[in-house]
């Protein structure tokens, strides 16, 4: 008796990353170390995080506050990955505009 032929089944596609709208916004990384600030560009922002472009010589801690004047919000961030002058962050909360920030 011949084996019944099973219909062709496509493999399920790989899970796709959450859509990340491209943006280009100025931001400030506030490290909390003597109110140290690092200027950055916010890219590919979505509800859960963003990609940041930072100066190569910058030392960014694993957790920090990111203030984005255009959004009028400060995001609590955790670094998820680092590549050259870019870091990927996950937003863990929000805060109002920092009182001592100029923007």
Q: Where are the domains of the chain?
A: 25-95
Q: Which CATH class is domain 25-95?
A: mainly beta
Nearest to 48 by CA among 91, 17, 100, 3: 91
| C-alpha dist (Å) from residue 85 to 27, 54, 63, 72 | 15, 5, 17, 25
Tokens 């099973």 found at: 6
**pTM attached to this predicted model:** 0.75
Q: Which of 10-14, 28-32, 40-44, 92-96 has the lowest mean pLDDT?
A: 10-14
Calculate ∠ Cα 91-96-86, nearest 5°: 35
pLDDT band at 35 (very low <50, low <70, confident <90, very high): low
């Amino acid at each position: 008796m011949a084996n019944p032929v099973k219909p062709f089944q496509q493999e399920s596609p790989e899970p796709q990353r959450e859509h990340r709208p491209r943006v280009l916004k100025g931001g400030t990384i506030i490290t909390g170390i003597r109110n140290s600030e690092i200027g950055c560009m916010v890219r590919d922002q979505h509800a859960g995080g963003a990609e940041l472009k930072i100066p190569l010589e910058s030392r960014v801690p694993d957790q920090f506050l990111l203030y984005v004047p255009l959004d009028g919000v400060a995001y609590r961030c955790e670094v998820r990955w680092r590549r050259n002058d870019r870091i990927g962050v996950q937003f863990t909360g929000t805060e109002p505009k920092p009182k001592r920030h100029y923007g």
